Amino acid sequence: MLYRSLLNSKLAVASGLCLLLMLNLRIQAGPVQESSASTETQTLHVLVGKSLVVNLETRLTRVMVSSPNVISAVPTSPTQVVVSAKAVGASSLILWDETGRSRMLDVLVDLDVAALRDSIQLAYPNEPIQVQAEGDKLIISGAVSGQEVIESITKMAATFSRNTVNSMVLAEPPHEKQILLEVKFAEVDRSKIDQFGINILNAGLLNTPGSITTQQFGAPSGASVAPGTPGSGGGGGGGQGRVDVGGQIPGRVAGATTNFSMTDTLNMFLFRPDLNIAVTIKALQQQSVLQILAEPNILALNGKPARFLAGGEFPFPVVQGGAQFTAVTIQFRPFGVRLDFTGYITKEGTIRMQVAPEVSTLDFTNAVTISGFLVPAMSTRRAETEIELKDGQMFGMAGLIDQRTQTNMSKIPGIGDLPIIGHLFRSKNLNRSRTELIVLVTPHIVDPVRNGFAPPQTPDYPVQFLDKQGFDNRLPKSDKPPAALAAKPEEAAKPQ
């Protein structure tokens, strides 16, 4: 009995201790359950390199961020936290107050696309560029005018993000107008011109009563001529002749006389578009007075340079001396008929051109010998000017005269070389040649073919063109035979 009573007392003590332990645990766990975290989650957006301020109603005790490489949080006061964005991404911001309650914020960091858009718009206001951000990627798209624009915008985007997707393409160039230049290089024999008494630079051929000269030679004095009176003398004779251009100038009093001289080595003149200069050129060619050197047609875009060369390249040695040896290299130089021009179409529809024609030939009479090589000289006639014309208006340059003198000797071998009496058996012939270079330029404005343009088609004839059999078969049939076939054979056979 004593043993049973002791056992019951021990069980009672153990049960009491268990109850006290359970009660203590319940008391300690009570405050933790009451301090639960807030279920409300707020999302904040911030740009890379920017900061924002989070204000709280209660005092803070702790601050934690889940991704320190994305954002940083610094408490500035017991109720204020400054969040700064470091890189593109997402992070959680957890805040604890003095009561032990916690608050969680989701912070999303994006790229500063607006700043990049403003930079691109400032640098290229006429380029349609779209900038979008997807995570840490910058997507740039649009059709730009040139490859240099793509490279520049790509460099600008690299300063905002290392991960840039370039979707820019080159835009189709606009259909710009083009300039077609019809050029004639002609060489005129001035000696035959003087024999025939022809004045090519006639006053009637000029559209504008005026000239542009080099002012290298003075013009001879001359009286003014009445309007409509043909000019006298030859143009471009190196100061030896002139063209007096008479005509009424717009804005001047009717009947006023005008005297313009075209006497220098380079003369420039305009032709009336309604005159057919080709007829005059053809007639001079038949008389062996004029020779066409080249007749190119050059097409170029508005504002773009173009070049034409009809000729060749001749080699010439270049001696390069050294301390121990001398080296000779061969270089090439072009010669022939050459033309460089750049045209611009103005807002008024006129054509402003920079034209530089040149004609060069090899001159072996003035050749030199270098290291055993015979190097010919270059005989060059060149001009350069800038002028503004209408579409289809012809412009000419003349006065580039080449004068040559050649002496030919004929003699009897042996006797013609004797002194004194040798003059009786030999003769000299002096030939003088004067040729003038004339350049005629006619510009035209050419519109490009647009998309969807229907080319001209051959008309659809019911019968193939020049198909005699097919045409005869489609003739209307008649019941009555022709008169010749209706006649009797014996009557048709009788002699008339």
What's the 3-state SS for 276-336?
CHHHHHHHHHHCCCEEEEECCEEEEECCCEEEEEEEEEEEEEEEEECCCCEEEEEEEEEEE
Q: Which helix (H) or strand (E) holds 157?
A: helix 147-158
| Integer Cα distance of 295 and 407 in angstroms | 33
Q: Which pLDDT belongs to residue 162? A: 78
More reliable by pLDDT, 164 or 449: 164
> Higher pLDDT residue, 115 or 199?
115
Q: What is the mean pLDDT of residues 381-390?
A: 87
Q: How far is Cα 325 from Cα 186, in angstroms, rounded to an integer?
A: 48
For residues 88, 94, 97, 102, the Cα torsion angle rounded to the nearest 10 degrees is 140
Of 462 and 362, which is predicted with more confidence? 362
Convert the pLDDT of each residue in 32-80 to its tens digit.
333 344 546 788 888 887 888 888 888 888 888 888 888 888 888 888 8
* Cα(94)–Cα(100) distance, integer angstroms: 12
* Cα 62 → chain centroid: 66
* pLDDT at res. 236: 36
pLDDT tens figures, 159-192: 877 788 888 888 876 677 899 999 888 888 877 7
Kindly state the average pLDDT of the residues 451-470. 66
Q: pLDDT averaged over the chain? A: 71
Q: How far apart are CA 110 and CA 106, in angstroms?
A: 13
Q: How far apart are CA 329 and CA 315, in angstroms?
A: 10
Q: In the prediction, which pLDDT does 269 show?
A: 53
Beta bridge partners of 299: 180
Q: For residue 494, how many C-alpha atoms fall within 13 Å in the half-sphere facing its CB?
A: 5
Structure-token pair, residue 321? 């001396």
421 vs 453 pLDDT, higher one: 421
Output the pLDDT for position 373: 78
Query: What is the tens place of the pLDDT at every residue in 187-246?
Result: 888 777 666 655 554 444 443 333 333 333 333 333 333 333 333 333 333 333 333 333
Q: Which pLDDT score is estimated for 180?
A: 92
Question: Is pLDDT above 60 for 380?
Answer: yes
More confident call, 15 vs 355:
355
In this model, does residue 490 exceed pLDDT 60? Answer: no
For residues 298 and 315, is the Cβ–Cβ distance under 8 A?
no
> Per-residue confidence at 461, pLDDT binned at 50, 70, 90?
low
pLDDT reported for residue 445: 92
Where residue 452 falls among pLDDT bands split at 50, 70, 90? low
Stretch 146-167: mean pLDDT, rounded?
86
What pLDDT, in 10s, does the model give residues 289-345?
Answer: 788 888 889 999 888 899 988 888 888 888 777 666 777 788 888 888 888 989 999
How far, in Å, CA of 106 to CA of 43, rounded?
5
Question: Which one is predicted more confidently, 219 or 479?
Answer: 479
Residue found by looking up tokens 């008494």 in the block: 197
Task: Judge contact between 189 and 288, C-beta under 8 A.
Answer: yes
pLDDT of residue 244: 35
Please state the rounded mean pLDDT for residues 392-421: 80
